[in-house]
Structure 1
């Protein structure tokens, strides 16, 4: 359970951070404000890049916290600037790495409730939370962030999404 949550989220959050760094470098090389990238969206009714990063961090922190029986970290307010998003990612990683592995590993059959932004609580076991909700949600948002940057012209390849082979 730990490897399927914390062990998965942390490396991909690091990859997401590196994607944002490449976005900044791209914008600076072309002499435009990197914040322009953060407002991009694939469709009018989809979250923009900043919100995609925010949601990836939310799913990456809430799921392991629920599995560990802890309160999720209070993430910084969602900022539409690269430094703010990088701080959000760093806070997420630090929090996830602080969670007790044994408690997460023991949570496969534990009943947990994921609270949506509107206050609705969705019931899961620890295993179904990860396999049917949090991991798919996380990768949806990380992939969409990658796609937005790629669509903007940032030179990214699959290896940028997947990250280094050594883990």
Structure 2
């Protein structure tokens, strides 16, 4: 068996999580329509006043992925825009990010001990594996989970099975 690479431990996880994020956003959009509410009731919602809204959470999760691909996956830096105002635009952004992940080449990923300065807040020096373990994955899942929590707090009927995707977890393939 060949050693597990940074690609193996990240790309499938991120694709799966983004697919699930898209599904819970669709449930949110459907819920808003069924309740006779505008999309803004969810898109502009926050967990707390000093936190960013749902749109920002999706933008940050996807920006974390594209920055990861730049730092670790050998990809060119891509500007995703950060200007989404509708569910459709958020779905498109997630699709573009999944496309970047699916297009990533395992052979372009740096070795685990490669060192670089990452565009975090503030800029920090990491090894590739340290970046993945202590910044990229936690930051991605913070924003992913916050998006889920916003929907849940507003009354959207989503649960753990929606977050994980248990309906097809055994059959799912990258």
How high is the TM-score relative to the length of structure 2? 0.88
**2:127 matched to 1:109?**
no
1:137 corresponding residue in structure 2: 139
What's the RMSD between the two structures over aligned residues? 1.4
For residue 122 of structure 1, report the CA deviation from its aligned partner.
Answer: 1.5
Correspondence 1:4-83 to 2 at 5 A = 4-83=9-88
CA contact (8 A) 2:27 2:156 kept: yes
Give the number of equivalent residue pairs.
164
Q: Give distance in 1, aligned partners of 2:29 and 2:97.
A: 21
> Does 2:102 match 1:97?
yes
Tell me which moved more, 79-88 or 12-21.
79-88
Contact 1:6–1:64 at 8 Å: present in 2 too?
no
The 3 A distance-change label for structure 1 pair 78 and 116 is farther
Per-residue CA deviation, residues 17-49 of structure 1 (Å, 9 max, x unaligned), is 001100010011111112220111111111111
Structure 1 gap ranges (5+): none
Aligned counterparts of 1:40 and 1:16: Cα–Cα separation in 2: 16
Q: Aligned partners of 2:33 and 2:83: how far apart in 1?
A: 22
TM-score calculated relative to the size of structure 1: 0.92
Q: Is the Cα–Cα contact under 8 Å of residues 67 and 119 in structure 2 kept in the other structure?
A: no
1:76-108 Cα distance to aligned partner (Å, 9 max, x none): 33212111111111111111111111222x421
Counterparts of 1:114-129 in structure 2 under 5 Å? 114-116=118-120, 120-129=122-131
